[in-house]
Structure 1
Amino acid sequence: MKFIVKTQRGMESVAANYIKESLPDARVWASPMGYYGLIIVETDEEKAAETILQIPEVERLIPVVVEVPAELEKIVESAEELASMINESETFAVKTKRRGKHRFTSMDVNRELGARIRELTNADVNLSWPDRVVQVEIIGDRAYISVVPGEEFRKFTPDKIDARKLFRKVTLIQMPYWGDYKACRSFGEKIGRAAQAFEVKELIIAPKEKMDAFELAEFINGVRVGQESRHRIQREAYPWKVEKVPVSVWDIYQVVRDKRRNKRLLIITDPKGPTLAEVKENLARDMFHAKEVVIFVGSREGIPRGLFRFADYIVDLAPYMTFATEHGIPAALVSLWEVYEEYARKREEGA
């Protein structure tokens, strides 16, 4: 039996040594053809898979079903053998990881091999939540093909509630950081990255009074840099189109005046309020039904107390603790998402 073992880049030699100790008769090839993070293992040991998975450095173990030359025609021909492992009632997807130079692309493999398997099995293709995944690992001049359960590839599954249902209607009101230019820019980057990471509806930079224009400029430039760096990662990682979060500047008192409208929920995070556990039932319900959820986050100092009278909720996220400026957005959104998800799941279950 042959296996493709995947590790963190640079950990392949460590994992290979442990595999050799655990399976003395195995043939182990770390970094085949110089590709880091990979190990090829060949062994006759019946419980080899269980043994290899006991090694913490091993991240994935892929049993090889078919090994063929890295030629498109040969890979497509392997469908004859792979088809017996996919039932007509199941869905499948073909995923290819290609290393080295070839006359075809990974998409060519996915398309041609997928079409042939579908022809042989009558099974439907499902790129989002397949029951089976035909995994094609191409390393230089060899192609190693396996059929694995689709669960191994599922980041986004139907049983999970999409967090964007909440975050798409969240407007963040962030007081800017002021002081040293370098610190302003640094904090701006962290805040811009956090707001973009959650794909919120809008980020409003809201000073509470007159402030140094150049300090504010450094902070906003930092927000832009942080946002763009996170957006680049999202475009590569997500299967859907990700838009940049709109960013604007507005006086915090005018924000409150504008947002005090029907179906808008105003939340201030502050130690003076009740704990999340005390208000979570009503808060979750109101967030679920709100058209817009407006969350105020302080910076160096808290939200002005005069605004508390206009908030629907004042929530203490972590009693006896004060969050650092750059942790305000993630702490608030993750905490609110937890209570929102619990409420949304109960509604789905009819509880």
Structure 2
Amino acid sequence: MKFLVKTQRDMEAVAGNYITEAVPDAEVWIAPMGYTGLVLVEADENAYEKLLEIPEVERVIPVLVETEADLEKIAESAEKIAHLIGENETYAVKTKRRGKHDFSSIDVNRVLGARIKELSGADVNLSWPDKVVQVEIIGDRAYISVLPGEEYRKYTPNKIDARKLFRKLTVVQMPYWGDYKACRKFGEKIGRAAQAFEVKELIIAPKEKMDAFELMEFIKGVKIGQESRYKIQREAYPWKVEKVPVSVWDLYQVVRDKRRNKRLLIITDPKGPTLAEVKEELARDMHHAREVVVFIGSREGIPRGVFRFADYVVDLAPYMTFATEHGIPATLVSLWEVYEEFLRENGKEEKEGE
């Protein structure tokens, strides 16, 4: 039988050589029709396990039906695979098309999916199907398989959506100052990090008068970093992504406003207790808070006078000081870990819009 092997791009030749060694009797086509990241293998069905033992191999798809890359021919293949999907199971058709054709991947999903439903009586589930009908089209050939639900899913029902915490979390970031190039470089990293976590808002908060042009370079960097991450998110995520609002506000006025409006204020600083000491109370308060406001320093810490107004001053890693660009990722990942633990232990689930 045939196997379609997927690798990292430009790793197909390396994988192909190892496949030849592991399965000496196999016929191997590296980068069929010039498409990188693919190896087509024809071998005994027992070769499947041997192929999985090769680290350069990312996926092995056993080909159940090979046919012409023609919409009608592909639809006809349903008769050979429909029996593999039980009436009480769900399925989805997923198509990857390489080359020029007079039909789209969506056309394949629609036509083949309808035919399978007619023959099997199973229901379609595009989010969490029990079976995936995988159609791989390479030039003038189509290779069709029936696979179990994805083994390494990014998004599964048993995972709690971290964005439900970060949507109500505001980051108050002291700006970096000094050399113009350094200001922009650090701004880019902070803008990228804030956008990556899709926080409610990023507030750039100087604690005192500072050079306008240094601040300008820092903000330019934040915009560049945000844009670069936003473009990646739009392509990678199956949901709509919004840009994180970015504003400038005096640090002390942020404290006054957020405290007055009863928001949960968190400062990360080595002078506070460790996260392990306060995690249960902190997680509970984050769960009930309408907004969580996290203050992060830059070059120097948050002013000590502000500590009196914070609900929590937390030391994330005793005897360690984070670099400026690591402040947002280190803090938010740490807060999420204790928050998720709280939700699971207490059987709570955040509801949409909460």
Alignment of 1:297-316 (within 5 A): 297-316=296-315
Shift of 1:349: 7.2
Shift of 1:169: 0.4
Residue 62 of structure 1 contacts residue 146 of structure 1 at CA under 8 Å; is this kept in 2? yes
1:63-101: CA deviation from partner (whole Å, max 9, x where unpaired): 111111111111111111121111111111111111111
1:9-36: CA deviation from partner (whole Å, max 9, x where unpaired): 1111111111101111000011111111
Query: Which whole-Å CA distance do the structure 2 matches of 1:246 and 1:279 have between them?
Result: 30
Normalising by structure 2, report the TM-score: 0.96
Q: Which moved more, 1:109-118 or 1:193-202?
A: 109-118
Alignment of 1:1-351 (within 5 A): 1-44=1-44, 46-152=45-151, 154-261=153-260, 263-348=262-347
Query: Which whole-Å CA distance do the structure 1 matches of 2:130 and 2:154 have between them?
Result: 14
Shift of 1:111: 1.3
Query: Which whole-Å CA distance do the structure 2 matches of 1:114 and 1:210 have between them?
Result: 63
Residue 263 of structure 1 contacts residue 289 of structure 1 at CA under 8 Å; is this kept in 2? no
Give unpaired runs (5+ residues) of structure 1.
none
Query: Which whole-Å CA distance do the structure 2 matches of 1:208 and 1:303 have between them?
Result: 8
SS at match of 1:17: helix
Q: 1:250 is matched by which residue type in structure 2? A: W
SS at match of 2:87: coil
Q: 2:169 is matched by which residue type in structure 1? A: V
Q: Which moved more, 1:141-150 or 1:341-350?
A: 341-350
Shift of 1:152: 3.1
Shift of 1:309: 0.5
Query: Which whole-Å CA distance do the structure 2 matches of 1:214 and 1:76 have between them?
Result: 63
Shift of 1:154: 2.6
Structure 1 stretches of 4+ moved >4 Å: none
SS at match of 1:208: coil
54 and 301 in structure 1: CA distance in 2 versus 1, 3 angstrom threshold: same
349 and 229 in structure 1: CA distance in 2 versus 1, 3 angstrom threshold: closer
Query: Which whole-Å CA distance do the structure 1 matches of 2:197 and 2:208 have between them?
Result: 28
SS at match of 1:244: coil
1:181-228: CA deviation from partner (whole Å, max 9, x where unpaired): 111111111111100111110000000011111111111111111111
- Residue identity over aligned pairs, in percent, reads 80
SS at match of 1:104: coil
Query: Which whole-Å CA distance do the structure 2 matches of 1:104 and 1:295 have between them?
Result: 51
Give unpaired runs (5+ residues) of structure 2.
350-354
Q: 2:24 is matched by which residue type in structure 1? A: P
Shift of 1:47: 2.4
Query: Which whole-Å CA distance do the structure 2 matches of 1:246 and 1:345 have between them?
Result: 30
Residue 2 of structure 1 contacts residue 40 of structure 1 at CA under 8 Å; is this kept in 2? yes
1:118-177: CA deviation from partner (whole Å, max 9, x where unpaired): 122221111111111111111111011111111336321111111011101000000001
Query: Which whole-Å CA distance do the structure 2 matches of 1:318 and 1:266 have between them?
Result: 19
Query: Which whole-Å CA distance do the structure 2 matches of 1:344 and 1:224 have between them?
Result: 34
SS at match of 2:334: helix
Residue 66 of structure 1 contacts residue 146 of structure 1 at CA under 8 Å; is this kept in 2? yes
